[in-house]
Structure 1
Amino acid sequence: MKEIKIVMVVALMLLLRSPIWAQQNAQFSQYMFNGLYINPAYAGYKEQLYAHSFYRMQWVGFPGAPKTFTIGVDGTANNDKMGLGLILANDKIGSANSTSAMFNYAYKIQTGEDAKLSFGLAAGAKNYMIKGRDLQSTVEYDPSVPDENLSAWLPDVNAGIYYSSDRLYAGLSVMNLLSSYINIDADKRNYVPKQARHYFLTAGALFHLNESLSLKPSFLIKEEFKGPTNMDLNAMLLINDRIWLGGSYRTGINIWKKNNLQSNLLKQDAFAFLAEVYPTERLRIGYSFDYDMTTLRTYNNGSHEISLGYYFTSSKVRLLSPRYF
């Protein structure tokens, strides 16, 4: 039997981690602080020129574990009727590496005094690469192991709809609309997997408990129809409009029967602690720690995620009230 060291590591991660969402699309725990990463219709929601970045180290201590870095910016145009955004991302897992650039556009309709409905599209390209020189085989001169880097560029499109008011939000989006139809070249097909569509349904609300405390419960359902349906349940407490503290519970759920899945898959995935602080009105710093609840927990030391955000607001313009969603 042929054995490829790093590929085996990736295979173990995919087999042991029960309710994953394909790991083709990068996973974040702090998406509730910037919905642009899961929905293009979120572009310009904050109504300021806003720069943001994430760095995630997943399953620390596990060989070939995912590492993700993103940087982006979004804002509004045409008297806040349109949102524009750009996200650059790099996601590495084992010998596989993906890099993407996506331009986001959102058209906003005022549906109430403090409510808007947005329709969004994102278009761009993604590069998927397998670093053949990182692969090691126990069989000398194994022809099935590439000795060079294999990569494929794919155009892609995402779409979404997003509703928000001062107390409520809800969104539905779909990723990989175009790339899910594209077949990789024959010489790369065995190494660069075809991309699957990913669907995201999210909603949340804000409850003011008193003058200094507010509670924001929310959920996110993630679906790609071939793997387990995944759901995040989140609860965040806002203190004095400056500090967010809370947690997230990630688990698999059964919405409909999937005959291709094992019946005994574990549903519990992870619990995350989240914190976000505004040292100044313009600067946001976020951190989350995920504790793995799958069989992988004995092989890693959890997942860490750091995020930064900055509002580029003119000194002559007063910063808008906090955007809770």
Structure 2
Amino acid sequence: MKTLNLNTSYCKWIFGVLCLVGLLNTTSVIAQQDAQYTQYMYNTISVNPGYAGSRGNLSVGLLHRSQWLGLDGAPTTQTFNMHSPIGYRGVGLGLSIVNDKIGPTSETNFDVDFSYTIPVSVAAKISFGLKGSVNLLDIRYSELNQYASDQSLQQDISNRLSPNVGAGVYYHTDKFYAGLSVPRILETSHFDESSLSTAKEQMNFYFITGYVWDLNPNLKFKPTLLTKLVRGAPLQVDASANFMLSDKFILGAAYRWSAAVSGMAGFYVSEGFLIGIAYDRETTDLGNTSFNDGSFEIVLRYDFIKTKGNMKSPRFF
């Protein structure tokens, strides 16, 4: 039994290293992608700066995602965001911190978001957003070199900084929303040509939309859609459907095109405090492996409602 356990662990390690070596090939250019979320509908500001301040009050959110549980070196992501209208002619401000790690590679994005909202009708508004960000990238080649004699993997990359900018537009009513955005426009190369590899930021194009139906006084239904397009990678399409019961309980499911199926649940602990969880199961060959136990995500969001009753019911988006 000990031999079997060691072999299983060894196979998991080999699988992770092969993936990373493919990404960190010394003669290639790595196209970096933004972190992915199953509960993107509660983390919209991470992909669209036009969302800043749209909830009408100070909103603070935390998210943790562990992807491919059981696989050594698998991705993990943590986000913190806060945003609010500032009470001056439709201006909203936000701050986001996203920490993303896979194997020996970790990167942290610090984002500042600005939005300007214009009423286009009695019920509808359109917001234009700008995002300024700083990316901090760290690659510990030495972790790989512990198990391999490749002398080229000697020099770690520590705290490499690069600035970026993004933009987005966000249209919403009380029942419907849609947005287009590019969180990072500059295709910045993190390393020069003399380095082991060149990691390059690629533009990620997002489209997000959703609608809320009141099926009866105690039941709401919200389908949502997110698409992400980045050069050199397959089109990502996430579709979800959530039901809210008595403005308190949320239950739903999601499908990531050719990638995963997900179950989601949420609960409003109080009028402004939401807890949401999600579990993904891969539909690819990776999902059938014995060492992949799926992906788990939890989100906490608190809205600082200024006056009790300011919201007739919790916002579904």
- 2:130 matched to which residue of 1? 121
Query: What is the CA distance between 1:324 and its match in structure 2?
Result: 2.0
- The runs of 4+ residues in structure 1 deviating greater than 4 Å are 4-7, 11-14
Question: Does 2:214 match 1:214?
Answer: no
- Report which structure shows greater RCO (CA 8 Å, sep ≥6): 1
- 2:41 matched to which residue of 1? 32
Unaligned runs of 5+ in 1: 15-21, 252-267
* Matching residue within 134, 147, 157 for 2:143: 134
Local SS of the residue matching 1:237? strand
Unaligned runs of 5+ in 2: 1-12, 25-30
Q: 1:234 to 1:100 in 2, by over 3 A?
A: same
Q: 1:287 to 1:153 in 2, by over 3 A?
A: same
Q: 1:159 to 1:189 in 2, by over 3 A?
A: farther
- 1:204 matched to which residue of 2? 210
CA distance in 2, matches of 1:159, 1:51: 21
The question of whether the paired residues in 2 share the 8 Å contact of 1:67 and 1:93 is answered with: yes
- The 5 A counterparts of 1:218-233 are 218-233=224-239
CA distance in 1, matches of 2:95, 2:174: 25
Letter in 2 for 1:279: V
* Count of equivalent residues: 295
The question of whether the paired residues in 1 share the 8 Å contact of 2:81 and 2:97 is answered with: yes
Letter in 2 for 1:129: D
The question of whether the paired residues in 2 share the 8 Å contact of 1:123 and 1:156 is answered with: yes
- 1:156 matched to which residue of 2? 164
- 2:18 matched to which residue of 1? 8
The question of whether the paired residues in 1 share the 8 Å contact of 2:129 and 2:169 is answered with: yes
Letter in 2 for 1:154: S
Q: 1:172 to 1:11 in 2, by over 3 A?
A: farther
Local SS of the residue matching 2:247? coil
- 2:275 matched to which residue of 1? 285
- 1:56 matched to which residue of 2? 65
Further displaced range: 181-190 or 95-104? 181-190
Identity %: 34
- 2:296 matched to which residue of 1? 304
* Matching residue within 193, 202, 206 for 1:186: 193
- 2:251 matched to which residue of 1? 245
* Matching residue within 50, 53, 59 for 1:41: 50
- 1:87 matched to which residue of 2? 96
The question of whether the paired residues in 1 share the 8 Å contact of 2:189 and 2:199 is answered with: no
Q: 1:80 to 1:27 in 2, by over 3 A?
A: farther
CA distance in 2, matches of 1:52, 1:212: 26
TM-score by length of 1: 0.85
CA distance in 1, matches of 2:255, 2:22: 23
Query: What is the CA distance between 1:130 and its match in structure 2?
Result: 0.4
Q: Deviations over 1:194-214 (max 9, x none)?
A: 111100111111111001011
TM-score by length of 2: 0.87
Provide the alpha-carbon RMSD of the alignment. Answer: 2.2
Question: Does 2:284 match 1:294?
Answer: yes
CA distance in 2, matches of 1:279, 1:127: 35
Local SS of the residue matching 2:145? coil
